[in-house]
C-alpha cells in the first residue's frame, strides 16, 4: 500500500516566485497535516485538515502561505511570493483521526525547498 | 498547552551497548505519547506509541519505551544498539481533546559508534 506521496521532492526557486507543494494522503485517512522543518525551529505544524476542512491554521506563518484540500486525496501548500527564509523541508502527514488524540500520523518523504 | 522536552541534542553510544533517548512531557489530561525516527533525507517513521495500559511499550526494530506518569517521562530504549540505529529521534505528545494533535520535541541525534 502506498504511503503519503509528496511532490516535488526538491524545489529550487528564486525569491518572489510562486511555489506549490503537493500531497496525496494515504487512502482512507481523513486528516492531513502540513509541517515545516528547519534547523532553527525544528518541526512546526503549519495547518491541518479534517475531512477536507481546515481545522487549525494558526501555524501558518503569514498570508503568503495558503493551503487547500479540494478532495480527500489531494492537498496543496502554496507560497506566494516566496522568500529565502521559507527555505526548509516541508512534510505532509496523514492519519485516520478518531478525535481522541490517539491517532498515528504517517509522514511523506518531504519536499526540500530552496529559495534563492 | 502541551509540550515536549528532549533534553539531549546528541546521544552517542557504542554498538552493542544499551541506548536511552530521554523525553519528558507536559499536558492537561491523559497523555498520548509517540516516538518517531528520521533517517537522513527521509520523512518521519512511526516507532511506537503509548495510549493506555502497560507502561512498557514495544515498537519497531527492537525499540521500547517506558511511560512514567509520576516523572512525566517517556524514554526510548533499546537493549543493544546497532550502527543502523543512528538517526534523529523525535518524541511527541497529544492529549484527549487536543485540537492541535501532535506536539513534537526538538529531536535527539543518536549516533551509534562501531
Q: Of A42, A106, A109, which has the smallest distance from its Cβ to B46's Cβ? A: A106
Average pLDDT, integer, range B95-106: 74
Q: Are A19 and A61 in contact (CB under 8 A)?
A: no
pLDDT of B95 higher than 90? no
Lowest-pLDDT choice from A86-90, A94-98, B57-61, B108-112 = A94-98
Instruction: Determine contact: A90 vs chain B, CB below 8 A.
Output: no
Cross-chain residue pair B102–A100, CB shorter than 8 Å = no
Average pLDDT, integer, range B22-38: 93
Cell 492537498, residue located: A75
Higher pLDDT, A93 or B97: A93
| Chain A residue with minimum CA distance to B97 | A100
Judging contacts by C-beta atoms under 8 Å, the chain B residues touching residue A24 are: none
Partner residues linked to A27 by β-bridges: none
pLDDT tens-digit profile of A89-100?
999 999 987 766
pLDDT tens-digit profile of A47-77?
999 999 998 898 998 899 999 999 999 999 9
Distance CA A14, CA A89 (A): 16
pLDDT band at A102 (very low <50, low <70, confident <90, very high): confident
pLDDT of A30 higher than 60? yes
Average pLDDT, integer, range B4-25: 97
Q: What average pLDDT does chain A have?
A: 93
Distance CA B78, CA B15 (A): 11
pLDDT of B61 higher than 70? yes
Q: What is the per-residue pLDDT for B100?
A: 52
Judging contacts by C-beta atoms under 8 Å, the chain B residues touching residue A48 are: 100-101
Beta-sheet pairing, A42-50 with B56-58: unpaired
Q: Any residues with CB less than 8 A from the CB of A15 and at least 6 apart, and which? A: A81, A82, A83, A84, A115, A116
Q: What is the per-residue pLDDT for B52?
A: 85
Distance CA A95, CA A33 (A): 9
Q: Of A43, A55, A56, which has the smallest distance from its Cβ to B104's Cβ? A: A43
pLDDT band at B99 (very low <50, low <70, confident <90, very high): low
Q: What is the per-residue pLDDT for B96?
A: 65
Q: What average pLDDT does chain B have?
A: 92
Residues of A numbered 49-88 whose beta carbons fall under 8 angstroms of chain B's beta carbons: which are they? 55-56, 58
pLDDT of A40 higher than 80? yes
| Chain B residue with minimum CA distance to A43 | B104
Q: Is B53 exposed, middle or buried (0-12, 13-18, 19+ CB in 10 A)?
A: exposed
Instruction: Determine contact: A25 vs chain B, CB below 8 A.
Output: no
Cross-chain residue pair A43–B90, CB shorter than 8 Å = yes
| Chain A residue with minimum CA distance to B32 | A102
Share of chain B above pLDDT 70, in %: 96
Distance CA B89, CA B86 (A): 9
Amino acid at each position: 500500500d502506498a504511503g503519503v506521496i509528496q511532490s516535488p521532492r526538491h524545489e529550487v526557486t528564486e525569491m518572489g516566485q510562486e511555489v506549490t507543494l503537493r500531497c496525496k494522503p494515504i487512502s482512507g485517512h481523513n486528516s492531513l497535516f502540513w509541517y515545516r522543518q528547519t534547523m532553527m525551529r525544528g518541526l512546526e505544524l503549519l495547518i491541518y485538515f479534517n475531512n477536507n476542512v481546515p481545522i487549525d491554521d494558526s501555524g501558518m506563518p503569514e498570508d503568503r502561505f495558503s493551503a487547500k484540500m479540494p478532495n480527500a486525496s489531494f492537498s496543496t501548500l502554496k507560497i506566494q511570493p516566496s522568500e529565502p527564509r521559507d527555505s526548509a523541508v516541508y512534510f505532509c502527514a496523514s492519519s485516520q483521526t478518531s478525535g481522541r488524540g490517539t491517532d498515528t500520523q504517517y509522514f511523506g518523504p518531504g519536499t526540500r525547498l530552496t529559495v534563492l | 498547552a502541551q509540550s515536549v522536552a528532549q533534553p539531549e541534542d546528541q546521544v552517542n553510544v557504542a554498538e552493542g551497548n544499551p541506548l536511552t533517548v530521554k523525553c519528558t512531557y507536559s499536558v492537561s489530561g491523559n497523555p498520548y505519547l509517540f516516538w518517531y525516527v528520521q533517517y537522513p533525507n527521509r520523512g518521519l517513521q512511526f516507532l511506537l506509541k503509548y495510549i493506555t495500559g502497560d507502561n512498557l511499550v514495544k515498537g519497531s526494530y527492537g525499540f521500547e519505551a517506558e511511560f512514567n506518569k509520576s516523572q512525566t517521562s517517556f524514554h526510548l530504549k533499546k537493549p543493544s544498539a546497532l550502527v543502523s540505529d543512528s538517526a534523529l529521534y523525535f518524541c511527541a505528545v497529544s492529549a484527549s481533546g487536543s485540537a492541535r494533535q501532535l506536539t513534537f520535541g526538538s529531536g535527539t541525534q543518536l549516533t551509534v559508534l562501531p
